[in-house]
Amino acid sequence: LQPGATMTKYGVDDMVMLSKVSENSILENIKKRYDADIIYTYIGHVLIAVNPYKLIEQLYTERTLKDYRGKYQYELPPHVYSIADAMFRALFSEGENQCVIISGESGAGKTVTSKHIMHFIAAVSGQNPEVQRTKDIILESNPLLEAFGNAKTIRNNNSSRFGKYMEIQFDLKGDPEGGRITNYLLEKSRVVFQANGERNFHIFYQLLTGADGQMKNELYLGSAQDYFYTNQGNSFKVDGIDDVQEFRDTTNAMDIIGFSQDEKRSCLRIVAAILHLGNIQFVDGGKDDSALRDTYAAECVAALLEVPLQSVQQALLFRTIQTGVGKRGSTYACPQAVDGAEYSRDALAKALYSKMFDWIVQKINEGLYINDPDSYTIGVLDIYGFEIFQKNGFEQMCINYVNEKLQQIFIQLTLKAEQEEYGKEGIPWENIDYFNNKICCDLIESKRNPIGVIGLLDDVCNFPKGSDDKFLGKLQEAFSQHAHFTMGGANEFVIKHYAGDVTYNVDGFVDKNKDLLFNDLIELGAMSQNSFIRNLFPEVGTLDKKRPTTAGFKIKNSIGELVDTLSKCQPHYIRCVKPNEKKARNCFDSALTLHQVRYLGLLENVRVRRAGFAYRQFYDKFFYRYRVCSEETWPNFSGDHKAGTAAILKILSLEGGGKEYATGNTKIFIRNPETVFSLEEMRERKVATYANRIQMFFGRFALRRYFWELECAGNDAIYGKKERRRLSFERPYTSDYINYRENYELKRIVEGFGKEKVHFADNATKYDRRSRRQRRILLMSSAAVYIIALEKNKDKDKVARRKKPFIYNLKRRLPASSISAIVVSSKQDSFMQFIIPSEHDNLLECRRKTEFLSCMVKICNTNVQVSDVMNITIKGGKKRKVTFVTDAKSGDGKMKGAKVGVAPGMSKDSKPNLPEPERVQTTTILPQRTLNAKVGGGGGGASAPQPPMGGRPTPGAPPSRPTPGGVPPGRPTPGGAPRPVSRGGPPRGGARGGRGRGMPMPMPGMRGRGRGGY
């Protein structure tokens, strides 16, 4: 075990800390943790997630989510919430768009992992109606797209049969304001064919089981066993999936996203029409033609698509062929044999479904669309996993090609680029070997020398008589000597992928790549009386004008665009691992898991991470982010950025020369992430302190009327009833007397009960039934009174006790609604009795009791009573009487037994001089924003450089002066272009949430951060 590693009997949290690095030690660590229901493990910043195939108790509760909010990676055990929080914080602290790449085999848990990330992001952002609407659409897009895009396969009960990249846009307050979904390669062939043990897309079974009687009659529906498109796999029910409830969730999601009733109805009519299409059967006519076996299914299709029955028969039984052009051209309706008619039937079903799916994605995007050049984005990639089936076709080759590209991104950014960077920066480094799958990607996608598999397939498709056999022959000619290609059995070829060798059967490759939809079928859809269906076929006006692109060309281009998009974001990685092929809980297949450990490159990842540096940053970026941490660099520094970086690291007493950090030509390299976390902690606390000082200073001015009204309320409540203390009679109110604003442990206690604004914080003394004094902290929020003790840490772990000898312990929380009255005496003492009906009372002494009473009266409308005899209910229901008497020697109040002696104070009729403050007119100046950028266009990368201390220049304001040392405000990036120091609003930084953090990003002035409820 390496120093600093978290080691338990369940292995290490971060496998970089393993004492022995080998495939077996990695496998053993994963297995130990899996057996203990610990499914998450780190390799540096990469999260390894093992699918447990069960719900683990307390792993995804609201309490767990709050625990991970605003915490650094080392503070809590590995979790997907930690990755989500790191993205959310880095989005604003670094000012860069973020993305998370979730990869793994089919059935490894990628879709569920992406849902947890979305849930976390939704939970930590705002609650106003417009933000809530956006969050609802983002969250409800999941069940909708799963219904139409997921299906049961032999490897996964809820397998994504399409790729999805969800981009969420955030405004400068950290709230989601819009987004966009890009979908990739829907598996259209599943609509018409399913292997044994598999199902069609979920929506078919949801509709057949979840629709009520009236809907079934309108759509002429029966059961799933009645339809060819749903009964081929002979699998109708799935463990863990309730199709009836899922159908309700799907239709509810349609409502939330904004589907009209006609749009909902049209989507379900298309699904039903596809079911009936599959039941149309053909018989041989004897003359190379065919006929319908019966017309019932065709009649249902015609009625649901709102087209004439004759047109349905014509489109399926005949194919229109045009010869010549212009006046010399002729058009013929050629009859089709049975196989041709079946091809047309299936092609129409696939076209209807894929066009409807694309429309659904577009509908979601319309609901999320917003133009905001200042927004940042978080991208979540959930795409089909690597697949090896008994028979692998064109779809599997495309899916595995996409996974090769994602693996290449991972290698490029985590292994190859990192090692190359050390050489460029002059850092001593011994290269670590790894498998680079670029050779496999080139085999599939290369455009020349030699042309790749997809290119060869496109060439074959361009010939009129191109066939699967010709494609196979061309593959053998081109790649017979290729290291990652071999020929298989009859009609088969083998590609040696990074995840293993896959045998592909060429049957249907050419037809699936052509992805042709005959003009007859396009015209059939375009003649529908239903405008929704008619609009799905816009190509009717552009028939025969250009050759359509192939499916392989589309997927290659779209994945190229995806790679470009991901390369512009700061990436985070989650590698999902499947522990067994049976989809069984508590079952660990060591051989299968070891295979994934190998092809995912986890061993090489651990080696590079152990030998390298966890953090690296350009000197100027590092200096400007952390200069506030050192008195030598803040507020003024005369040296260059490299010298400033050295001065900042000096405060941590780090050892240079590569042991704890190294200096490169343009960057600083820090070996341990804990060092960076320490700097972040220090920075946030410093900035929080400055922000609180500014807020408190401004509060003296802005909140004068509030405090005046507060003082009036408290004094009026006891005027004429209670004697006053001379020293505190006209004391100004400040609300916070214990620095609650910067006490993160106290904040965490309050935040555990929700977003409550704290109005009063002070020390107090509690008296028990035997009149013994106990020190307490008294907090009053808008919802409750908190009584908190500071006690010795009794943790069994000695290290934990040494790190934190004292801890805050919440003794009692009194909801404001449960306090029937607060009783005080008529003397000048500071005792208060809290009366809680049906529970025991509390007796507290607080020197600033008048201010506390003011808050309770004004904010919670609490009843204040005055009596020199307090009848206190103690635990067990017994009563105890405490009497207050005048005693000149007792000062402000001394308790002995059941009697409190109090010296005489000022007259009960004394009233402080509280002149009403003048009303001052104020003007709010907001940053100017122009909402005219396209969504997903880089997240505000086009914004102009801005002054260093946040916000655009106020009109008429003088230009900002250069910072000391000659460093200009818009300092250049390594690429040479000026970078904005701030994106508007206050400078980033502030009190951390989590341990009292309201938001996990360091920005003061944001909701719950650096404000402390004041």
Catalytic residues: 106-107, 111, 156, 159-160, 385, 387
Which residues does 808 contact at the CB level (< 8 Å), separation at least 6? 745, 746, 749, 777, 788, 789, 790, 791
SS3 782: coil
Which residues does 941 contact at the CB level (< 8 Å), separation at least 6? none
Contact 874, 841 (CB under 8 A): yes
In single-letter form, the type of residue at position 484 comes to H
Strand partners for 201:
151
Peptide bond into 1000 cis (omega under 30): no
Task: With both helix axes pointing from N to C terminus, report the angle between 110-124 and 129-149 in degrees, rounded to the nearest 10.
Answer: 170
Contact 492, 504 (CB under 8 A): yes
Q: To the nearest 5 percent, what fractions of the chain are helix, strand and coil? A: 40, 20, 40
**Please, what is the Cα angle at 993 between 992 and 994, to 5 degrees?**
120
Biggest distance spanned by C-alpha atoms of the chain: 122
- Write out the two tokens for 213: 């009687």
Give the torsion through C-alpha atoms of 906, 912, 913, 915, to 10 deg.
Answer: 180
Residue 55 burial by CB count (10 A; 0-12/13-18/19+): exposed, middle or buried?
A: exposed
- Cβ atoms < 10 Å from Cβ of 734: 15
Sheet holding 842-845, edge to edge: 806-815, 784-792, 773-781, 758-767, 842-845, 831-835, 821-824, 864-866
In single-letter form, the type of residue at position 773 comes to R
Residues in the chain: 1014
SS3 967: strand
**Please, what is the Cα angle at 900 between 899 and 901, to 5 degrees?**
120
Residue identified by tokens 């009997």 is 9
Strand partners for 767:
773, 843
Helix (H) or strand (E) holding 596, with range, is helix 590-599
Number of H helices, E strands in the chain: 31, 33
Write out the DSSP string of 21-88.
-SHHHHHHHHHHHHHTT--EEEETTEEEEE--SSPPTTSS-HHHHHHHTT--GGGS---HHHHHHHHH
- Write out the two tokens for 763: 């020390």
